[in-house]
C-alpha cells in the first residue's frame, strides 16, 4: 500500500491554472504558509467590498469613514482570514461557473488526505486516534467545503454567509457527534466498526456585523470547539498524528457562537452550546458555555489564549445506557464526553521569522462517572486528566518546515484511554510542499506509559507515518 500512496502523490497533484500568474503561485510559498504556528484557527472565507475605510468603530456606534487614508489593518481572528484560491476555483476563474460563484460570493474547495502508519503493534495504535490503524493504508479525509463568503473588510454593512464541511474517510469515526448518523458505526461483526463513513463536521449559518466592536461574526449550527492547538482538519494541524490533549477534548459543538474582535490585540469566542460532541435533539443535550479569549502582541511575537468548555461536569446516569448507546469513537467511549469540563491554555512565542514555540496545558475532569468504566475505583466516580504539550517549528525554507512535539499526558484514573498512568509521547516530523497544493508529511513517534501496558500488552509503541494532502 505504501508504494500506491507515493504513486498517487506523484500523479495527482493539482496543476496550476495556466491563466494564473506565476507570481501568485510563488506568493503561496513566500507569504502564506499552509500551516500556522500561531494558535489554531480553522480556515474561513472572506470577501472585500470597495467602500470607505473604517479606521475605528465604537460598539454599536456610527462608523467614521475617512478619505485619502491608507486602509486600516485587518483585525486578527477567524473573520479576517483571506485563504488562497485553490485548484478548482482557479480553474473555474473566467468561466461561467467561476462567474456564478464569484458573483454570489460562493466558494467550493477541499482536499484529500491519505496516510500509512507503520507500527510495532500488529493491528491498532490505540489510544492514538485518527491514524489509529497499524500497518494499514487509510484515506483519512476526502474533504469537501462549500459556502458563501462574508464581507469583512472595508465595509460597514452586515453580510451573511454559510459553510458546510463534509468529511468523507476514516476520520469520521472520531468526529461524528452523538445523535447524528451514528448508525454508520454499526457493523455486523461483533466489536467492529465500519472503517469509512461520512460526517457533516461543520454546517452553520453566519452573520457578520462590522460595527459591533471591531467586527463580530455570529454562527448558528455545528462548529469546531474553540480551543486546542491541533485540529480536525488535516490542512490546519501540524502532523498527521494528534496530541492526547486534542484527542481527549471536545471536537465539535452545536449552538450559537459569537467570534468577536475587540481590537487589534484582543479577540474572543463565546458560545452557548448543547454539550460536547452532541447533536441537536439528542437526549444527552445539556446547556453549557464554551469559548476562548486571546491576546496577540503587536507584531505577533507573543500570543496567549485561554479556552474552556464549562457545564455541570457531572455524568448523567440516565443517558447513555451502555452498550446500546455509544458515543464518539465509540466502542472506546461508552460513557461519553458530553458532560466533562475542559480548561485549555495556549501560548505561542515567535523567536524570529523561522523559529517558533507553542505550549499547551490542558486539564479536564468529570464527576459521577460509573465505576464500571474505571480501571481504578475512585470515590464518587471522579475522573481527571492533564496534558502538557510542547511544539517547536523551524522553517528551513518556504517549502520545508521541521516540527518537534513533546507531550506528557496523565490519565490519572484511566477513564479516558482505558489505561491509567502517565503517557510520554515524542514526535519528530516535517512538512514538505511539492507544489502549492500538495504537501508531504512524514513523522516518527514514540509513546510510553510508565504505569500501564496499553500497546498490545507493552508499555511502549513506535510508529512511523507518511501522510500526503492534495488540495483542490
CATH number at residue 347: 2.40.160.10
Confidence of residue 379 (pLDDT cuts 50, 70, 90): low
**339-374 pLDDT, tens digit each:** 899 999 999 999 999 999 999 999 999 988 876 666
Beta-strand (E) ranges in 228-301?
252-261, 266-273, 288-296
Confidence of residue 18 (pLDDT cuts 50, 70, 90): very low
The number of domains in the chain is 1
Nearest-angstrom CA–CA distance, 140 and 112: 8
Q: What does the pLDDT read at residue 374?
A: 63
Q: Phi and psi for 100 in degrees, rounded to 5?
A: -60, -45
Residues with Cβ within 8 Å of 296's Cβ and at least 6 positions away in sequence, in order, are 38, 76, 264, 265, 266, 267, 302, 303
Q: What does the pLDDT read at residue 455?
A: 95
Beta bridge partners of 198: 168
Which region among 62-66, 301-305, 460-464 has the lowest average model confidence (pLDDT)?
62-66
From first CA to last CA, the distance across the chain in angstroms is: 23
pLDDT at 94 over 90: no
Confidence of residue 336 (pLDDT cuts 50, 70, 90): low
Q: Which helix (H) or strand (E) holds 172?
A: helix 172-175
Nearest-angstrom CA–CA distance, 43 and 461: 33
For the chain, counts of helices (H) and of strands (E): 6, 20
Nearest-angstrom CA–CA distance, 306 and 293: 6
Which region among 74-83, 163-172, 441-450 has the lowest average model confidence (pLDDT)?
74-83
Strands 159-169 and 136-148 turn out to be: antiparallel
Nearest-angstrom CA–CA distance, 277 and 232: 13
Question: What's the whole-model pTM score?
Answer: 0.82
By the 10 Å C-beta count (0-12 exposed, 13-18 middle, 19+ buried), 438 is classed as: buried
pLDDT at 48 over 80: no
pLDDT at 325 over 80: no
Closest of 444, 466, 455, 459 to residue 121, by C-alpha:
455
Which region among 140-144, 326-330, 383-387 has the lowest average model confidence (pLDDT)?
326-330
Average pLDDT rounded to a whole number, residues 301-319: 88
Q: What does the pLDDT read at residue 462?
A: 98
Nearest-angstrom CA–CA distance, 305 and 36: 15
Nearest-angstrom CA–CA distance, 63 and 46: 20
- Chain-centre distance for alpha carbon 31: 22
- Chain-centre distance for alpha carbon 387: 18
Q: Which domain holds residue 303?
A: 2-471
Amino acid at each position: 500500500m505504501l508504494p500506491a500512496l507515493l504513486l498517487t502523490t506523484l500523479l495527482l497533484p493539482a496543476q496550476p491554472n495556466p491563466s494564473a500568474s506565476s507570481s501568485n503561485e510563488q506568493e503561496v510559498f513566500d507569504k502564506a504558509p499552509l500551516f500556522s504556528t500561531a494558535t489554531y484557527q480553522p480556515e474561513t472565507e472572506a470577501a472585500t467590498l470597495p467602500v470607505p475605510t473604517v479606521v475605528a468603530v465604537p460598539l454599536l456606534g456610527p462608523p467614521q469613514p475617512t478619505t485619502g487614508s491608507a486602509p486600516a489593518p485587518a483585525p486578527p481572528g477567524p473573520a479576517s482570514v483571506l485563504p488562497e484560491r485553490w485548484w478548482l476555483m482557479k480553474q473555474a476563474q473566467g468561466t461561467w461557473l467561476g462567474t456564478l460563484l464569484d458573483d454570489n460570493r460562493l466558494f467550493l474547495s477541499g482536499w484529500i488526505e491519505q496516510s500509512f502508519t507503520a507500527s510495532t503493534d500488529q493491528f491498532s495504535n490505540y489510544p492514538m486516534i485518527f491514524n489509529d490503524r497499524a500497518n494499514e493504508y487509510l484515506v483519512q479525509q476526502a474533504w469537501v467545503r462549500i459556502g458563501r463568503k462574508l464581507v469583512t473588510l472595508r465595509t460597514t454593512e452586515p453580510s451573511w454567509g454559510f459553510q458546510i464541511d463534509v468529511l468523507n474517510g476514516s476520520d469520521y469515526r472520531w468526529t461524528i457527534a452523538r445523535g447524528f448518523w451514528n448508525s454508520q458505526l454499526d457493523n455486523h461483526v461483533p466489536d467492529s466498526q465500519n472503517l469509512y463513513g461520512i460526517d457533516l463536521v461543520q454546517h452553520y449559518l453566519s452573520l457578520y456585523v462590522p460595527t459591533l466592536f471591531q467586527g463580530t461574526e455570529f454562527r448558528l449550527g455545528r462548529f469546531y470547539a474553540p480551543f486546542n492547538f491541533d485540529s480536525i482538519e488535516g490542512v490546519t494541524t501540524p502532523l498527521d498524528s494528534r496530541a492526547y490533549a486534542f484527542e481527549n477534548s471536545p471536537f465539535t459543538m452545536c449552538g450559537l457562537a459569537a467570534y468577536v474582535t475587540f481590537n487589534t490585540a484582543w479577540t474572543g469566542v463565546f458560545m452557548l452550546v448543547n454539550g460536547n460532541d452532541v447533536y441537536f435533539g439528542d437526549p444527552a443535550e445539556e446547556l453549557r458555555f464554551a469559548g476562548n479569549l486571546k491576546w496577540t502582541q503587536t507584531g505577533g511575537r507573543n500570543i496567549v489564549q485561554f479556552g474552556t468548555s464549562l457545564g455541570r461536569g457531572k455524568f448523567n446516569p440516565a443517558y447513555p445506557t451502555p452498550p446500546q448507546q455509544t458515543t464518539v469513537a465509540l466502542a472506546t467511549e461508552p460513557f461519553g464526553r458530553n458532560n466533562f469540563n475542559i480548561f485549555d491554555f495556549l501560548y505561542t512565542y515567535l523567536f524570529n521569522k523561522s523559529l517558533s514555540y507553542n505550549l499547551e496545558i490542558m486539564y479536564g475532569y468529570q464527576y459521577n462517572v460509573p465505576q464500571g468504566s474505571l480501571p481504578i475505583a475512585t470515590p464518587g466516580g471522579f475522573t481527571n486528566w492533564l496534558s502538557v504539550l510542547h511544539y517547536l517549528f523551524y522553517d528551513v525554507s518556504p517549502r520545508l518546515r521541521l516540527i518537534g512535539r513533546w507531550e506528557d499526558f496523565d490519565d490519572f484514573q484511566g477513564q479516558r484511554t482505558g489505561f491509567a498512568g502517565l503517557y510520554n509521547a515524542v514526535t519528530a516530523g516535517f512538512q514538505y510542499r511539492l507544489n502549492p497544493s500538495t504537501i508531504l508529511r512524514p513523522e516518527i513517534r514514540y509513546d510510553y506509559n510508565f504505569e500501564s501496558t496499553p500497546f498490545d500488552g507493552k508499555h511502549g509503541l513506535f510508529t512511523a507515518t507518511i501522510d500526503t494532502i492534495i488540495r483542490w
